[in-house]
Amino acid sequence: MVVKSNKDRLMKQALMGKVAPPVMAASGRSTYVTTWDGKPKIGIGVGGIKYNVKMGDPCLGWPETEYMTPGVALYGADEKAEFDRRSASGSGTAFTKLSCIGNRVTVVGGDAKGSTGVVTGKGGVGGTGRHVLSHFPKEVLDKLNIGDKVRVTSEGVGLKVEGFDGRLFNMDPSFLEAMEPKLDGDTLELPVAKEIPVLAMGMGVGGSSAESGGWCVQVSPPHLVEMLGLGDLRFGDLVACKDALMSYGKGYYKGAVTVGVVTTGESQVAGQGPSVMAIASSKRGKIKPRIDATANVAKYLELEG
Amino acid sequence: MIVETNKERLVKQAVMAEVNHPSASSGYRVDWDGVPRIGLGMSGVKYNVGVGDLCYFLENGEHTEPGLSITNSNPGESQALGVLGCIGNEVKLTSGEAKGEKGYITGKHGSFLCWFPPEAQEKICPGDKIKVKAWGVGLKIAGFEETVRVNKIDPELLEKMGVEVRGGKLHVPVAREYPCWIMGSGYGMFPVTIDYDIQTTCDLVWDEMELKDIRFGDVVCLRDQLNWWGRGYYKGAVTIGVVIHGWSYSAGHGPGVTTILSSKDDTIVPEIDPHANIAYYLGVKEKPK
């Protein structure tokens, strides 16, 4: 059965943001983060404009990177919040929580003024908690500058599928439809590239509600990556996390299923790794993952170049 | 054979803190299932909940900290306190009505948690100054220097924990064992400065995992968890920790564990002893017969 949603009742509004600057993964005055096996690592890749890394590309194996944000990373235009990671309110927080995958992004200032792109995900862990990720065509990337103002046409918070025994998050209605979900009774069938057992889920557990933050898939030590076949994980992959509930928070729940998007890159810090942003979660396990190796945000958003 | 350590080589120094005040949020906290709640128990002076007591007990308990909570409001000093203070370190009040009374550190959450004799606890006020005799960073166990990482434990408390060297292994009494997937908030963080939680927000496993039986101060074993340069999954690794704070209804949270010993393999051998609890090792509570 094709799903019936409440998309006609969702509020659509403008959010203001700007292209975020690159920042270092290490906190304080330290240059390095310490990896799971006790080695210093520089930790680049959070924020900024990536010319050669986008949704659909391999997630692991980029040297010295920690929590790399693919494509163009955006921040809320709230200057104060930019320097306060713990800021719990204000327009910067609204920018993060209300942006949804598939929302249109319009550049409203700078050399690329008038160009459009699309929201591809949100950061979550490792200093990426307030980043909204976006994709722009190559010719726009060349014109885009750090700090350029952008407008996100926000739509998606409150999205529901009639009859589904679970909750949806962080999706523009058009993105939900592009995945061609099916409803069987109260169970929603969604495509996923991989299934991930809860033992591989790391940092981010205990974190905030599904509208912001993420939950890491651990990619260290190497024997875990091998055991779970995570080596070919890609930015933008849809994954099903078993026994993991990402709803009013993030935690273990026996039998629960959460489907999310792999948004940020690897970490070699113990217990950390690519961040998963939830798009659907069911406490009673009423999500049926349909394995499809091509289930990736890049495909459903039809991203170019 | 009781463990031998390098304790003679460790710096012992004074670090300052003060007794803090109970904290509260401005609105309801939404629990794991979408229910708004008021959570009690972070920070301050507790009169009826201490190390050795059950974690699941108090109405509205949310990360309840047993005994006394202490912090240092100067950010730089707080960071030093966070790294240097160890479970079992002696603490002494240096101001207030209970000046001169001595107790022990029993855990490190955001705050350090302490036990003081009940008669001293009655006289303590938020704001009173406390001196911590910080001792333990760099602690190593002879014969296990490369295979067992020791963290945040006072050398003399470690000697009282019934840890024995037998057949090249370190045998450690523990009240209970937990699988890696039950570990929650604090996962992936820095073992030296923060605990991580045994999740109590899946009601379906409360009974099978005996989560309501956990006590403040319990020594527990975490399977497939390595706490060396950080904390995360490592197949076959064994981590030993001490339960320091109480239950939670926030998704992914629960009683916190400060980790004290960790090996990549079965070098650490946990042995079940229901009374493996630091309240008995510190001699602050009478062990049940």
CA distance A254 to chain B (A): 7
Closest CA to A74 of A143, A139, A21, A30: A21
Amino acid B176: pLDDT: 98
Residue positions counted in chain A: 305
Residue B157 and residue B52 share a domain: no
CA distance B215 to chain A (A): 21
Task: Test B230 with A272 for CB contact under 8 angstroms.
Answer: yes
Amino acid B36: pLDDT: 95
Residue of B nearest to A249 (CA): B251
State the CB neighbour count (10 A cutoff) for residue B93. Answer: 23
Residue B274 and residue B162 share a domain: yes
| β pairing state of B129-134 and B231-243 | unpaired
Query: Strands, E, within A247-295: which ranges?
Result: 250-262, 275-282, 287-291
Task: Test B188 with A283 for CB contact under 8 angstroms.
Answer: no
H helices of A106-261, in order, are: 138-143, 173-178, 222-228
Mean pLDDT of B72-94: 97
Residue of A nearest to B232 (CA): A271
> Where is B175: in which H helix or E strand?
none
Residue B274 and residue B197 share a domain: yes
The residues pairing with B108 across neighbouring beta strands, listed in sequence order, are B112
In a domain, B286, yes or no: no
Residue B153 and residue B277 share a domain: yes
In a domain, B142, yes or no: no
Q: Is A231 left (phi over 0), alpha (psi -120 to 50) or beta?
A: alpha
Residue B65 and residue B187 share a domain: no
DSSP one-letter code for B55: S
Among residues of chain B, what percentage have pLDDT more than 70?
100
Residue B156 and residue B251 share a domain: yes
Closest CA to A121 of A68, A193, A181: A68
pLDDT band, residue B217 (cuts 50/70/90): very high
Task: Test A216 with B188 for CB contact under 8 angstroms.
Answer: yes
What is d(CA B209, CA A97) in angstroms, rounded to the nearest whole number?
35
The answer to whether A117 and A73 are in contact (CB under 8 A) is: no
Nearest beta carbon to residue A205 from set B205, B230, B252:
B252
CATH 3.40.30.10 given to domain A8-154:
no
For B105-147, what is each residue's pLDDT tens digit?
999 999 999 999 999 999 999 999 999 999 999 999 999 999 9
For A153-207, what is each residue's pLDDT tens digit?
999 999 999 999 999 999 999 999 999 999 999 999 999 999 999 999 999 999 9
In a domain, B3, yes or no: no
Question: Residue B25 is part of a domain; what is its CATH number?
Answer: 2.40.10.170
Residue B89 and residue B25 share a domain: yes
The alpha carbon dihedral of A194, A198, A199, A201 has a sign of positive
What is d(CA B149, CA B268) in angstroms, rounded to the nearest whole number?
10
Spans of chain A, pLDDT less than 50: 82-83, 85-88
The more confidently predicted of residues B288 and B81 is: B81
Amino acid A144: pLDDT: 98
State the CB neighbour count (10 A cutoff) for residue A31. Answer: 10
Residue B58 and residue B161 share a domain: no
Amino acid A1: pLDDT: 63
* Fold (CATH) for A167-300: tm1086 (SG structure) fold (2.102.30)
Mean pLDDT of B46-57: 94
Predicted ipTM of the assembly: 0.93
Residue B193 and residue B125 share a domain: no
Q: Could you tell me the residue range of the domain that residue B238 belongs to?
A: 148-281
Split into its structural domains, chain B has a count of 2
Question: Residue B224 is part of a domain; what is its CATH number?
Answer: 2.102.30.10
Residue B190 and residue B102 share a domain: no
Amino acid B25: pLDDT: 77
Interface of B with A (CB under 8 A): 30-34, 179-189, 197, 199, 201-202, 204-205, 224, 226, 228-235, 250-253
Residue B279 neighbours by CB under 8 Å, 6+ apart: B50, B51, B52, B106, B115, B215, B216, B217, B285
Residue B104 and residue B57 share a domain: yes
Amino acid B252: pLDDT: 97
B interface mutation test: which of A32, A67, A89, A203 has the most B CBs within 10 A?
A: A203
Task: Test A252 with B201 for CB contact under 8 angstroms.
Answer: yes
End position of a domain, from candidates B134, B164, B193: B134
Amino acid A84: pLDDT: 52
Residue B268 and residue B173 share a domain: yes
Residue A104 neighbours by CB under 8 Å, 6+ apart: A116, A117, A118, A119, A152, A153
In a domain, B89, yes or no: yes
End position of a domain, from candidates B88, B107, B134: B134
Amino acid A81: pLDDT: 52
How is chain A split into domains, by residue range? 8-154, 167-300
In a domain, B289, yes or no: no
